[in-house]
Amino acid sequence: MFRAGLESILGDIREDLSEFGINYQVWFSERSLTHSGDVDVALNILQEKGHLYEAEGNTWFRSTAFGDDKDRVVKRANGQTTYFASDIAYHMNKFDRGFDQVVNIWGADHHGYITRVKAAIQALGYNPDNLVVRLVQFAILYRGEERVQMSTRSGSFVTLRELRDEVGSDACRFFYVTRKAEQHMDFDLELAKSESKDNPVYYIQYAHARVCSVLRKLEDANMSWDQAQGVAELSVLIAKQKKT
């Protein structure tokens, strides 16, 4: 039952991302780290290196020795490993696969997690500078002046599929890339759907359609566009607004 539910949910996620133009080569299950014994292997390595100790019934990683502000629990008194222990094993797996640089994309609310993960990487014997963390901010959805209220607790939110169905993949991708990942973004659904010059996506799509029309006319006239020559002769466009 669990496997069927998992595959169904992952299938939906893969489909949504594919429609959005995103395809991952590897999908990694956190459960596999426990079932394969990788979490225990990582903790054993830290134990052998003298970076773990027992206190208050828990097993702690001495992360303060590597710049963290406090030590971290990796195994509780009941024998259950923590989420952080799985993170340690996951990053060990990444580095053991031989990548020169490991890149993580995290929500900005996880910024405090960076130091402890880098501490674990260093304690395992890897170079922590080879871990690069990109923090991304949340997007706030609006319909004109009205903010779209969302709450994961109440189950009230707009999914990526719903966003794409409403405004289209082009508009979604464009509005996301117009802001740096670490900057907050206000996403106006009404603006993204509008067919006016106020909507930069519509303006670009209109310009693209005009260019395609010109290229078709060239083809009909047995002519072709020479990009190198065209760029070299931009000076023939006298008006400043035609050059931009």
Does the pTM surpass 0.85? The reply is no
pLDDT, one tens digit per residue, over 31-73 is 899 899 999 999 999 999 999 999 999 999 999 999 999 999 9
Question: How does residue 151 score in pLDDT terms, banded at 50, 70 and 90?
Answer: confident
pLDDT the model gives residue 114: 96
H/E element, 223: none
Q: State the burial class of residue 59 (Cβ atoms within 10 Å of its Cβ: 0-12, 13-18, 19+).
A: buried
- Mutual angle of helices 169-177 and 200-220, in 10-degree steps: 120
Choose between 125 and 6: higher pLDDT.
125
Q: How far apart are CA 85 and CA 41, in angstroms?
A: 11
Domains of the chain: 25-136 (3.40.50.620), 139-193 (no CATH), 200-243 (no CATH)
Is pLDDT above 60 for 243?
no
How many angstroms separate the first and last alpha carbons of the chain? Answer: 58
Q: How far apart are CA 42 and CA 39, in angstroms?
A: 5
Lowest mean pLDDT among 40-49, 112-121, 234-243: 234-243
